[in-house]
Amino acid sequence: MAGLPRPDEVLPHRPPFLFVDEVTEMVPSRSATGRWHLTGDEAFFAGHFPGRPTLPGVLMVEALAQLGGIALLSDERYAGKLPLFGGIDKARFRRQVSPGDTLDLYVELDQLGSSAGKGHGTARVGDKVACEVSMLYVIVRQ
């Protein structure tokens, strides 16, 4: 879609720790939809687990947080700020994610203030939920 930012235009993250490949929809400071295409070349698959490569659940949560950070930082009110994890609640991992899968990400930001915010996210592979999580952001100056 035209007009949507590239993740590296908004986030300070860079490979190998940038997990959002594309933003497909966004309402700044409200919600975002994006994707992470897992090629199998990612280094963590070699050790998690040999013979049965599986995306670590914590990296699914990080990908959702990064997508939420894109939605947050796309709002001019948060320019020059850095959203950090303040907490992770109710994380649930529902299915394994493997090399070759595309992780469809959705984040909704529920409450935002000048120094903190809350959101929740869902990661899916196809129509199957892989991860659900509630997150707390602490917003600091960069």
What are the sequence ranges of the domains in the chain?
Answer: 7-141
48 is annotated as an active-site residue: yes
Question: Considering 13, 37, 48, 120, which one is annotated as catalytic?
Answer: 48
Per-residue pLDDT of the chain (142 residues; tens, 9 = 90+): 458 999 999 999 999 999 999 999 999 999 999 999 999 999 999 999 999 999 999 999 999 999 999 999 999 999 889 999 999 999 999 999 999 999 999 999 999 999 999 999 999 999 999 999 999 999 998 7
Contacts of 19 (CB under 8 A, 6+ apart): 13, 36, 59, 62, 63, 66
For residue 112, the model assigns a pLDDT of 92
Fold of 7-141: Thiol Ester Dehydrase; Chain A (3.10.129)
For residue 142, the model assigns a pLDDT of 79
Specify the 3-state DSSP secondary structure of 10. helix
Asked whether the CA dihedral 54, 136, 71, 32 is positive or negative, the reply is positive
pTM comes to: 0.96
What does the block give as tokens for 6?
A: 């590239």
